[in-house]
Amino acid sequence: MQYVVAIVAVCPLRSEASHRSEMVSQLLFGEGAEVLEAGKDFTKVKCLYDGYEAWAQTSQLAEVDEEIAKAVPVGYTFKRNTIVALNDAPMHVPLATPVFRNTFFGKYKVEYTDEETVLFDASFYTEEVIRMVALLYENVPYLWGGKSSFGIDCSGFVQQVFKLFGKHLLRDTYQQAAQGGSIGFLQEVQCGDLAFFDNAEGRIVHVGILLNSEEIIHASGNVRVDTMDSYGIINRNTGLRTHQLRVIKRG
């Protein structure tokens, strides 16, 4: 098998091998993938973290050994904008970028010049820390297919927050809704539970992180804190109901 890692801060993943094709997800700098179909301009990959399959621009990838692609990071960047060096040139990378320390991605020399990294475990999954981590993304603009602090969608947001705690979520909202156990009543929620919302056809289309039984942080226009009740989300700025609650899950 052939493996690659992203060598740009944020590598778009597209549904088809074209720049005009829909962006469905992203690889952050250093994240690994298995090559499914190699091409001159675009390469079809399978992300090692969540199994997502899509097309990446070939020039934004570096071929690496399996050991490098599957390496466990020593931590993750913990600022919206961190500087690393790629072949001695500075590059700004987003929050939650994996850190492997000084290494090589194929022919590319990598140095992590900013030392502010974290690697939480389940013992840190407390209300205080969950709220602090989630609010690092506050006001990041919504971007379909995004999963970085430069632009993010709802499922990308919760996936990245959970990743920092060593909690593994799949990429899309409907996939995440199939994980974990259900919570029967809003009054029983704990900070860090996930609320899922459906559309008029009953399809799950949105997700957010509950901070308590009355507040939710989610990516909708931007990453924001809104009011929550047993029917769904109420926008704090407009007072309008924006999302219909379907189910609450705990990982």
Per DSSP, helices labelled H in 64-109 are 66-69
Residue showing tokens 């809003």? 186
Q: Which residue has the tokens 């992300």?
A: 47
Strand order in the sheet with 75-77: 98-99, 75-77, 117-118
| Catalytic-labelled residue, pool 11, 47, 191, 218 | 218
Q: Which of 11, 154, 191, 243 is catalytic?
A: 154
State the DSSP H helix or E strand holding residue 174, giving kind and residue range, or none if neither: helix 173-176
For residue 22, the one-letter residue type is: E
User: Active-site residue among 11, 47, 191, 206?
Assistant: 206
Question: Which amino acid makes up residue 9?
Answer: A
φ/ψ of residue 134, rounded to 5:
-60, -40
In whole angstroms, what is the distance from residue 227 CA to residue 229 CA? 7
93-128 b/e with 16+ CB inside 10 Å = b? bbbbbbbbeeeebeeeebebebeebebbeeebbeee
218 is catalytic: yes
Q: Please, are residues 116 and 78 in contact by the beta-carbon 8 Å criterion?
A: yes
Is 154 among the catalytic positions? yes
CA angle 217, 221, 225 (to 5 degrees): 20
Catalytic site positions: 154, 206, 218
